Each structure stands twice: as structure tokens, then as C-alpha cells.
Amino acid sequence: MKCDHCNNPAITHEVTIQGGKKIERHLCKECSKKHNIDPAPTNAVNQILSNIQAMQGLVVPGARKGAAEQARPLKCEACGMTFADFKQHALLGCPECYVQMESQLGPIIERAHEGATHHVGKIPRRALEASREGGGRRTVEAILGSARERAERVSMLRRQLEEAIRAEQYERAARIRDEMRSLGEAEAEENPA
């Protein structure tokens, strides 16, 4: 099968269901990279199950690993839930599932949340305080994320900001800037120069 945008062979195939209509996308390696920059259109939550089913047997973007790894059925070591179980029930088994199946879940979560890739908002307050004082079970990084994750979060917000400006939603844009600023301040607090 050929890519929707050029003549190269398509390596990722994606089916989304929007307003009851099935929309298929077939992209080559180059175009799917571009596609990641411009996230897929919104997609209703109660349709996620049909999306997941529609994707059964298809290649999930980001899931292309080595052949050996692909052959082994994907499974959460902590609770035994497989990716196939998840596709069937749309429920995960335990918090660890998010870590162990991150590459498969990432694109699904992104589509279900209008292209969002990272959490923005409340953080467990006591856990964060405890980790800052060094007395918590978890490190500050385990709560706020690694430098890379924090950079990814900022770039997600930048995309949202550009989108708001393009749609001339200036008040919204201002609030996204506030959000980015407050993340920057939290960062500064973490790494005093």
C-alpha cells in the first residue's frame, strides 16, 4: 500500500472513527514523522473502543520495534495484563501497565485527548513535598518528570499556544503562556541557578 501523501510505501496505518465515519490514513516513514508534529483530529472518548478494535491487526505508530520484540506478546510484568486484553476491555490492569506498554498506549491516549501527550495540572501535593524534603518514597524527578519529559511537556504547550493564536483565541493563548511560565518557575525552583 502506498502513502497517502507521496509514492513511498506506507508503514503506518491508522483508522479513526469520527462522527460514525471511518477515516483511514496510510503514511510512509517520512510523512508519519510529519504527522506526529500535527496530531490527529479529535476523537470522541466513547469511540475509543471502536478505534482500538479498528486498529486490531494494524501497525500502531510508534510500536515498530525489533522483530524479536514484536513476536513476544506485550504484557505487563506487574499484573499480567496483555495489550490484547486491553484492546478487548479498554481497561488497564494496574499503574505499571502505563510504563510497560507506554509505546503502544501513547498514540491511543494522544488520540483520545485531542493530541495531548503530557499531563498538565495538579500534582499530588504531599508526595511532592515529601520528595522535596527527601523523606518521600519517590524522588522529585519521579513526580515532576525527567528533564526530557519536562521539555516535551513545554513543546506540547507550545503547540497548543500556536493553535490558539492561529484560531485567534488570544485569551486562551494568554492562559497557555501563564501555564508555561508557571512550569518554568517550578523548574527554576527545582534547579536553583
Partner 1 sequence: MSTDAPGRGPDGQGQVRQIDLHRSRVEWLRGEGRLSDVVLSSRVRLARNLAGFPFPNRASRSDRVCVLDLCRDRILNAGLAERMLWIDLHHAAPIDRSLLVERHLISKQHAKGKLGVASGGPEEPRGVAVAMPHEQLSIMVNEEDHLRIQVMRTGFDLADALREADEVDDKIERRLDYAFSPRFGYLTACPTNVGTGARFSVMLHLPALKMANEIDKVKRAAGDMALAIRGFYGEGSEAVGDFYQLSNQTTLGKAEHFLLHDMEHEIIPRVVEYERLARRQLVERRGDLVADQAYRALGVLRHARLMSSEEAMECLSRVRLGAVLGLMPGIDHQHVTHLMLVIQPAHLQRLAGREMNQAERRAGRADLLRRELASVT
Does position 144 interact with partner 1 (CB under 8 A)? The reply is: yes
Q: Which of 4, 24, 77, 114 binds partner 1 (CB under 8 A)?
A: 114
The least CB distance from residue 36 to partner 1, in Å, is 15
Residues 4-33 that bind partner 1 (CB under 8 A): 19
Considering the rule CB under 8 A, would residue 46 count as an interface residue with partner 1?
Answer: yes
Q: Which residues in the 79-118 window bind Zn ion by CB under 5 A?
A: 79, 81, 93-94, 96-97
- Assess 186 for contact with Zn ion (CB under 5 A): no
**Dihedral angle of Cα 114, 117, 120, 126, to the nearest 10 degrees:** 130
Please state the separation of Cα 91 from the chain's center in Å: 17
The C-alpha atoms of residue 99 and residue 192 are separated, in whole angstroms, by: 30
Q: Which cell numbers hold the place of 190?
A: 527545582
Angle at 27 between CA 24 and CA 37, to 5 degrees: 100
From the list 4-12, 26-34, 59-67, 143-151, the region that binds partner 1 by CB under 8 A is 143-151
Report if residue 120 touches partner 1, rule: CB under 8 A. Answer: yes
- Nearest Cα residue to 5 out of 36, 41, 39, 31: 31
Nearer to partner 1, 9 or 95 (CB): 95
- As a whole number of angstroms, the distance between CA 163 and CA 13 comes to 25
Regarding 113 and contact with partner 1 (CB under 8 A), the answer is: yes
- Taking Cα atoms as reference points, which of 74, 71, 18, 26 lies closest to residue 47? 18
d(CA 176, CA 179): 5
Asked whether position 37 contacts partner 1 by CB under 8 A, the answer is no
* Residue 78 in contact with Zn ion, rule: CB under 5 A: yes
Instruction: Candidates 2, 146, 188, 190: give the one binding partner 1 (CB under 8 A).
Output: 146
Q: Which is nearer to Zn ion, 44 or 99 (CB)?
A: 99
